[in-house]
């Protein structure tokens, strides 16, 4: 399986398979996901919720994102690494976005950055693209706007908002975005968005008509027992498995069964 690059990102048509993406935040899980065949590793600011225990992604800092991105890039061999620009690191101006994106690429080692927002971010996307920073746009439910939306709610149900999402997607492509992430929108709206652009659209809670799918790692592995979005499929009861394993360790320590001679230097 060949490495995925920014230049060979593709639509899922003409014989091309949909793209498989998953979030990652550290070396070990990045390596395992890469070996499992994932196309894109997204270093998401969801790290704030599933790793740091925050209620939203808003407190995540740029320094934290650089750190986690570097951990992930050390663990991959073929997957494309995309890193989120955190809430406080790009919205003030295109110049601020450039400084932040430069750090994520130069220090973190990613190949692409992702930023949230539609029309207000078009200028920033063009500014970054003109300066050799590949960008993935993020439309629909944008978690950094959770308070503006009044919670984690499906977007694009109203005809006017659905039409706006299609227009924003086309504007993002025109500005130079190399891919889009589309979150929590009705399937028919996601289909319209996907068909309106020639760049790949990665869906999360957007139906099967997108060019690829992404899940949060901790949701897919059943490790995160907080907020569970409807679209998050659990492929493993990881929390129960981990508790059982650590419980067995505790029991063996207390009973004297561990460590045995084979686990000791004698």
For residues 70 and 103, give the distance between their C-alpha atoms in angstroms, rounded to a whole number. Answer: 11
Binding site members for 3-methyl-2-oxobutanoate: 45-46, 84, 114
> In whole angstroms, how large is the CA radius of gyration of the chain?
20
Token reading at 129 = 């693209």
DSSP strands (E only) in 87-170: 112-116, 135-140
Non-local (6+) Cβ contacts of 73 within 8 A are 30, 81, 108, 109, 110
Non-local (6+) Cβ contacts of 243 within 8 A are none
Binding site members: 45-46, 84, 114, 116
CA angle, 114 as apex, 27 and 32 as ends, to 5°?
20
| Number of other CB atoms surrounding residue 213 within 10 Å | 20
Cis peptide bond upstream of 252, omega within 30: no
| DSSP assignments along 76-95, one per residue | -SSSEEEEEPPGGGTSS-HH
**Per the residue annotation, which of 183, 225, 244, 252 is the catalytic one?**
183
The question of whether 183 is a catalytic residue gets the answer: yes
Binding site members for Mg(2+): 45, 84, 116
Residues with a catalytic annotation lie at 183
């Amino acid at each position: 399986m060949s490495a995925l690059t920014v230049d060979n990102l593709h639509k899922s048509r003409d014989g091309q398979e949909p793209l498989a993406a998953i979030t990652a935040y550290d070396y070990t899980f990045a390596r395992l996901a890469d070996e499992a065949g994932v196309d894109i590793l997204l270093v998401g600011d969801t790290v704030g919720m599933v790793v740091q225990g925050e209620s939203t992604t808003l407190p995540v800092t740029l320094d934290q994102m650089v750190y986690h991105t570097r951990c992930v890039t050390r663990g991959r061999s073929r997957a494309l690494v995309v890193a989120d620009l955190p809430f406080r690191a790009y919205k003030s101006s295109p110049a601020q976005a450039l400084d932040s994106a430069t750090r994520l690429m130069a220090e973190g080692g990613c190949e692409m950055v992702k930023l949230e927002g539609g029309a207000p971010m078009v200028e920033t996307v063009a500014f970054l693209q003109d300066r050799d920073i590949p960008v993935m746009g993020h439309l629909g439910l944008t978690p950094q706007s959770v308070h503006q939306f009044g919670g984690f709610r499906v977007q694009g149900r109203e005809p006017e908002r659905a039409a706006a999402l299609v227009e924003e997607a086309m504007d993002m492509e025109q500005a130079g975005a190399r891919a889009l992430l589309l979150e929590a929108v009705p399937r028919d709206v996601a289909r319209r968005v996907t068909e309106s652009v020639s760049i790949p659209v990665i869906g999360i809670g957007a139906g099967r008509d997108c060019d690829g799918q992404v899940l949060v790692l901790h949701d897919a592995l059943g490790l995160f027992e907080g907020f569970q979005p409807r679209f998050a499929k659990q492929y493993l009861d990881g929390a129960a498995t981990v508790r059982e394993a650590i419980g067995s360790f505790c029991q063996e320590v207390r009973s004297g069964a561990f460590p045995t001679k084979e686990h000791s230097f004698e």
